[in-house]
Amino acid sequence: MKSLNEPYMRHSYNSLKKTRWQDFISVIAILLLCFSCVLMACAKSDPEGPAPVVVPPVKLPDPPGSVAGCKKCVILAEQAQARIVIADVDSKTLVWEWKAANSAVRPEDVKWFSNPSDAKIVYNGKYVLTTASGGGVALIRIADKKTMFYAFAGGNTHSAELLPDGNIVTASSTDNYLMLFKVDTLHFPADVNKKVVPIEFGHNVVWDAKNQLLWSAAMNKLKAFKYNFDCNHPDLTLVESIALPGTEAHDLFPVYNENALYLTNTTNVYLFDLATRKLTQANTLQENIKCVSSGPQGYPTIMLRPKESWWTDEVSDDKGNTVFIQNGLKLYKARWVLTNTFSYPANDSIRQCN
């Protein structure tokens, strides 16, 4: 028998079920509306999307007050402004520069120092020896930037070296010679005694103090010369010639605190052992390296590899990592600011012919 309340109860149950479903839909609708409002508010307050994560800049150390205070500096032949600069690697700043136009170089001789081609630290870290493709060679005192001596070598001058008596020898590439200069800091640049020694594709010169030899890599030969030690009439005699692989030998520079030389050409970087006279390929970047310079522990071996023609704005290590970079620079050579015990005696001081 059916209960009299059965239709009513069924109707009540269905109504309750419908009401709960409608409530659920209403809650979902409200939640969606709220979520939409939040999204709209975010879009209005940040049209670019979420705020980027701000990384605080790395604080660099202050640059040294002078070159003497440099803990890790490089000397650079910089061609964009025809200057020699010294850069502090840690603070990433230039701390010293020399321009012929701002020195005692005569105005008519400034053109000799266009396109600086090399710079070396000499005389116990107190002087710079530099050359330029314009033909100039100069010896500069770092402390006050005084030009102690300068002269004209010509022939696209690429490098220079100090000889034990204070005289200077340069290497010129297009005219194929080394040139010896009698250094007299009172009589220059016009009244300078010179001596030309032929060599093919002259790009480099290094004095070997232990063996008392001058080394120069000439195209595909490494040559050794004896110096006559006649300060007033300097001259060189070829005593050794060693065949080199490849061609167009470019840089020659001592390996720090070793009896060896780095040698570069267009395709490779080599180590030349002075004791064995053997050449081995260096464990570094290889192709088109303009220069190599090494140092003690903590100093990476640095190199220059051109980005544009023959220059770059970056000094890298031998694995390609950046050591120093600055937009606008046109660098041709880079060396660590370190004393060179391969070529010069300890506590070396400036000297010249009497």
| Domain residue spans of the chain | 77-336
> How many other β-carbons are positioned within 10 Å of the β-carbon of residue 1?
3
- pTM, whole model, 2 decimals? 0.84
The pLDDT assigned to 20 comes to 54
CA distance 177 to 153: 10
> How many other β-carbons are positioned within 10 Å of the β-carbon of residue 110?
17
CA distance 253 to 102: 29
The pLDDT assigned to 38 comes to 43
- Which H or E run includes 42? helix 6-45
- Which H or E run includes 43? helix 6-45
The pLDDT assigned to 191 comes to 85
Reported residue count of the chain is 354
- Asked if 250 contacts 203 with a C-beta cutoff of 8 angstroms, the reply is yes
DSSP codes, 7-40: HHHHHHHHHHHHHHHHHHHHHHHHHHHHHHHHHH
CATH code of 77-336, in short, is 2.130.10.10
pLDDT in tens, 144-193: 999 999 999 999 999 999 999 999 999 999 999 999 999 999 999 988 99
Residue 59 carries which DSSP code?
P
CA distance 104 to 232: 25
Among 40-54, 243-257, 267-281, 304-318, which is the least confidently predicted range? 40-54
Tokens 């260096």 sit on residue: 282
Q: Does the pLDDT of residue 302 top 60, yes or no?
A: yes
The pLDDT assigned to 39 comes to 43
Q: Does the pLDDT of residue 17 top 60, yes or no?
A: no
pLDDT in tens, 213-265: 999 999 999 999 999 999 999 999 999 999 999 999 999 999 999 999 999 99
Q: What is the 3-state secondary structure (H, E, C) of 252-264?
A: EEECCCCCEEEEE
